[in-house]
Amino acid sequence: MMTIVAFLIAIGLLVTVHEFGHYLAARSCGVRVLRFSIGFGRTLLRYQSRPTATEWVLAILPLGGYVKMLDSREPVAAVADGLSTPIDWSQAFDRQSIPAKMWIVFAGPLANLLLALICYWGLTLPGEVGLKPYIGPIAADSVAQKADLRQGDQIVSIDGHDMHTWQQAQWALLTLLTDRASFQIVTRTTSGELHRHHLNLAQFTQAPTVDPLTALGLSMWTPAMPAVIGEVVAGSVADKRGLRSEDRILKVNQQQVEDWQQFVKWVRLSPNKSLTLTIARNGIRQTISVIPESVLEGTIKIGRLGAAAKPDPALFKPYLVERQFGFWEAGQHALHKVGETITFTLKMLWKMLTGQTSLKAISGPVSIADAAGQSADYGIKPYIGFIALLSISIAVMNLLPIPVLDGGHLLYHIVELIRRKPLSDRTLALTQRIGMSILGALMFIAFFNDINRYLIG
């Protein structure tokens, strides 16, 4: 239920913002908007203050929306005025100047980018708190091991950019994985010595959708925490099997548990497999059987119980870093984040187009809903970050020069500007069919990937 609600809220917000961008731009140019619809199909709710006003609609299928404007090429629009009211065709979209039409089309994706900027700005203003990038265990025969990276060292910079937190390091590594670049990581030992490590990704074959740390053989170092449950997610496996806050995990399948990290490793490696837990609750030992649910992390299935550790602030204090930003500095930081995400999205699209990245990276509605639910489980901040990321993706996808998308309409207007006359109806009809075919193929791939991830794989 959390997944469904989180998905519907995210999609509803992003669609509304996108279409409202078109609406405001149309009104700013004097274009009459006949209908503003969130969703498709049968109407659930409808409001119209008067016959000549905009009709506001909430429809049954929430996976999109549209703004219908007065257009002299569609005589059926006359019905909106009533038979006795003359229509002012100067308010028609097709009667506007080319710059005005381009502004109306571009305003939808622009609204999504502005929403992402506001989200990142709001997340940055209170400051950022994260763990310093100390390196944990290194996987054998990995890129990290070959580059002589060592457990316990702190990452100082990646590719010449200073790293303050693991979040920064993960994003930097993900973008470099996408580029298949060779780059340098500078680390600092516990004695203060600096070491430079050269990582060559020319022969790297793993998909960039995999967690960059896992792909390179890196892991985040964290202090060993006692295997004590701090929080149980309502409705989760842990909740249903009776695990409670303050329960101490003593054994898993009769094997001693040393710390929380070891317990998490057991759970992650056991999706849909039965585990027998020996716990201590109020000094009394109990045995509980659990079957971790299977969830996707990138393309890998892992187990999850829905329980979090009881954090000990004293353990983490030496490794925490907090960065404060002023109002405008936070805005610059947010703008940089939006720019980085746009660049990364475009790179991924280009690599899929050129065959350098698998089309398995395309996600359908089920994958998006799952990501929405997982981010909401982690809290309001991760959920807002997810909304910002999805908003940028929607903006970029809509600006692709594919007929039927905003980018395709912008392309029409650019061609019209160059030719000094619009494209013929025949050309428009042909390109629209091509655009629908491309979108249909993309939707098929997205749904196929979802089916493969959640039903077959």
> Residues 19, 55, 246, 416: which is the catalytic one?
19
**Contact between residue 104 and residue 21 where contact means Cβ atoms under 8 Å apart:** no
Token pair 């381009």 is found at: 102
Q: What gap in Å lies between CA 223 and CA 225, rounded to an integer?
A: 6
- Radius of gyration of the chain, Cα coordinates, nearest whole angstrom: 26
Q: Catalytic: 19?
A: yes
Q: What gap in Å lies between CA 377 and CA 374, rounded to an integer?
A: 5
**Contact between residue 407 and residue 398 where contact means Cβ atoms under 8 Å apart:** yes
Token pair 């997810």 is found at: 386
Q: 3-state SS string over the chain?
A: CHHHHHHHHHHHHHHHHHHHHHHHHHHHCCCCEEEEEEEEEEEEEEECCCCCCCEEEEEEEEEEEEEEECCCCCHHHHHHHCCCCCCCHHHCHHHCCHHHHHHHHHHHHHHHHHHHHHHHHHHHCCCEEEECCEECCCCCCCHHHHCCCCCCCEEEEECCEECCCHHHHHHHHHHHHHHCCEEEEEEECCCCCEEEEEEECCCCCCCCCCCHHHHHCCCECCCCCCCEEEEECCCCHHHHCCCCCCCEEEEECCEECCCHHHHHHHHHCCCCCCEEEEEEECCEEEEEEECCEEEEECCEEEEECCEEECCCHHHHHHHEEEECCCHHHHHHHHHHHHHHHHHHHHHHHHHHHCCCCCHHHCCCHHHHHHHHHHHHHHCHHHHHHHHHHHHHHHHHHHCCCCCCCHHHHHHHHHHHHHHCCCCCHHHHHHHHHHHHHHHHHHHHHHHHHHHHHHHHC
Strands 320-323 and 128-131: antiparallel
**Contact between residue 96 and residue 31 where contact means Cβ atoms under 8 Å apart:** yes
Query: Which residues are known catalytic residues?
Result: 19
